[in-house]
Amino acid sequence: MPCYEIDGVRPVIHPTAFVHPDAVLIGDVFVGPGCYVAPQASLRGDFGRIVLEEGSNVQDACVLHGFPEIDTVVEQNGHIGHAAVLHACRVGRNALIGMNAVVMDYAEIGEGSIVAACAFVKAEMKVPPGMLVAGVPAKVLRPLTDQERAWKIVGTECYHALAARSLATLKPCEPLREADPERRRFEMPDIVPLSEARRRAG
């Protein structure tokens, strides 16, 4: 993977973490046990420190960056959706940042909260634990339901499994010229969009 030292400081990646070869890590970056970092993620620890705690995931095209002496932290089992931007902020344990959301300087997302897709969390906003946050600028809408909390946990567990699957089986390959008629699909019946989970629950 593109891993870069700057001013003598190198990224640190736990051996049980999976960082995709097309992610970029620079400088003062810590990737903890069981983490997953997806293709095209950019973790730039060239000013402030970036910390991914155990079991967290950072998905495709995310950007994590910060200011000197301000850590950007994703706590244990934090879940950062595709193309989100985190800048000098803290994402609490088991919280989820939705796709294309932005979380700004000194903001804190409370434990188990969910920031909706495309939300803009202003600098210094403090989100209490267990809340749904949405909008531009973001506002706390309401407490999460039990179903939403459970859906988030299942989604994060699937990324724990993906880190292990990727470490074990992901490798470069040549594409096939045509599809195998017996080609299998990945079967993961519990991994569904939140809207589908709501329908199933009635």
- Given a cut of 90, whether residue 64 has pLDDT beyond it is yes
Q: What is the model's pTM?
A: 0.95
Burial classification of residue 177, based on how many CB atoms lie within 10 Å of its CB (0-12 exposed, 13-18 middle, 19 or more buried): exposed
Please report whether residue 183 resides in a domain.
no
Mean predicted lDDT score pLDDT of the chain: 96
pLDDT tens-digit profile of 159-194? 999 999 999 999 999 999 999 899 988 988 888 998
Structural domain range at position 98: 1-141
- Determine the 3-state secondary structure of 200 from DSSP: helix
Give dist(CA 154, CA 146) in Å, integer.
12
Please report whether residue 76 resides in a domain.
yes
CATH number of the domain that 133 lies in?
A: 2.160.10.10
Give dist(CA 66, CA 29) in Å, integer.
11
Please report whether residue 164 resides in a domain.
no
Tally the domains of the chain: 1
* Number of C-beta neighbours around residue 104 at 10 A: 18
pLDDT tens-digit profile of 22-56? 999 999 999 999 999 999 999 999 999 999 999 99
Please report whether residue 36 resides in a domain.
yes
